[in-house]
Chain A
Amino acid sequence: MEIIKTGVAGTLESCDASVSVEEHGLLELVIESADSRFAPRVREAALAALAELGVRAARVTVREKSALDCTIRARVMTACLRAAGLEKAPWEALK
């Protein structure tokens, strides 16, 4: 999936994550976690979502407020689809 503009999704409410995805030459992922002990889990969830969508080059920032993995995944995917200018998700490719 090619990132062609900046896409943001989510909020900074409790249990949510605010994700921004921008054009970038490499894949760069920044995690700002409400609880640092979960930062590795958040990173794993975000990387898995990016891999599932085939995003290989982007600057991705995830600021989260105790969001669960499924929320991280949803917000990362929404931001990516918005940044790729796609209205339809590749459902058949998603697990």
Chain B
Amino acid sequence: MATLRRSMLFVPGNNPALVKDAQIYGSDSIIFDLEDSVAPAEKDAARLLVWSSLRSTDYGRVEKVVRVNGIDTPWFREDVEAMVRAGIEVIRLPKTEGPADIARLEELVGALERTAGRPSGSVRLMAALEGPLAILNAYEIATSSKRLVAIALSAEDFVTSMRTTRSSEGVELAEARGRIVLAARAAGVMAIDTVFTDVADSEGFLREARLAKQLGFDGKSVITPAQIPLLHGVFAPTKEELRRARRVIAAAAEAKVRGLGVISLDGKMIDRPIIDRAQGLVDLARASGMRVEDKE
């Protein structure tokens, strides 16, 4: 099954009550945060806490991501070293401005993989785009490394740089979102939408999540577990989509049994990409808690 990143849950890195079992909420990924949620004086404490938890906690099937401190901070190298050694799966680099930033991170990660005895290339990267220059460099960033699996919009700093504020309609983010999705699709990586910070406003969150899905984003970062089921609901396929996908798969299976080279459904030809997409949709339906095996 393909990796899903519908929901990436931020967890403050210096809070043991939250770090200890953030996987229970069923997000696709957990992002242990060493950056904005941790005060400068506690950077060392948060790093050790996340390191220690990763060493001894079974986080199950959830993808383990860390947001390290920015490349120009005094904590960056130590963060990356601790996390690579702790067995992190993905490092999210904040404030990525261009491909050179990813190259620096990649070099450090590669060296650490060797000293820590981890398979080469096992640590994946993710870039958070937080400023106008980063957005303009989106495609270059998205294609800067084989390790890179996703680019993400981080809107709070972005709107400040753009001398505007966030609105419920999100017009100020329209261009950035469009460019990120375009770049991600062109580069073959995932596109992750920004957080929605008003935790009490579930209607507003749903509106924004539907917009992100419609634009083509693969998922969203979230800051509270309550947003996870809402998000998965938005990203779930419709029953009609699921029905159609299952018919495609059934037609392909039947063609295989009968040794047919050409697969058709309702008089139309079906090619490999359509079948792959149908399988992906069935997987997504299953992950969304839909009944996939039901007979029609």
Contacts and interface: CB of A to CB of B under 8 A. Distances in A.
Given A13-B16, A70-B57, A71-B20, 8 more contacts: A68-B20, A70-B49, A70-B53, A75-B48, A77-B52, A78-B45, A81-B44, A89-B78
A88 interface: yes
A88 B78 contact: yes
B78 A67 contact: no
Contact of A82 (B17, B44, B52): B44
Given A69-B56, A89-B82, A74 B51 contact: yes
Contacts of B16: 13, 15-16, 67-68, 71, 74
A3 to B, nearest CB: 16
A13 B53 CA distance: 17
B85 interface: yes
Contact of A92 (B47, B48, B51, B115): B115
Nearest to B75: A87
Q: How many B residues are at the interface, by size bracket?
A: 20 to 34
Contacts of A9: 45
Given A78-B44, A81-B44, A71 B49 contact: yes
B283 interface: no
Interface of A: 9-10, 13-16, 67-71, 73-75, 77-78, 81-82, 87-89, 91-92, 94-95
Interface string B38-72: 00000011011101110111000000000000000
Contacts of A77: 48, 52
A89 B82 CA distance: 9
A42 to B, nearest CB: 14
A11 to B, nearest CB: 9
Contacts, number: 62
Given A70-B57, A71-B52, A77-B52, A15 B17 contact: yes
Nearest to A68: B20
B78 A74 contact: no
Contacts of B55: 70, 95
B44 to A, nearest CB: 6
B140 interface: no
Contact of B45 (A10, A13, A67): A10
Contact of B82 (A16, A68, A82, A91): A91
B156 interface: no
A74 B85 contact: no
A77 B17 CA distance: 18
Contacts of A95: 55
22 contacts: A9-B45, A14-B17, A15-B20, A16-B17, A67-B16, A68-B20, A70-B52, A70-B55, A74-B52, A75-B45, A75-B48, A77-B52, A78-B45, A78-B48, A78-B49, A81-B44, A87-B44, A89-B47, A89-B82, A91-B82, A92-B115, A95-B55
Nearest to B85: A91
Contacts of A94: 85
A69 B17 CA distance: 13
Interface in B55-112: 55-57, 78, 81-82, 85
A90 B170 CA distance: 46
A9 B16 CA distance: 13
Nearest to A10: B45
Nearest to A72: B52
Nearest to A95: B55
Contact of B81 (A67, A75, A91): A91
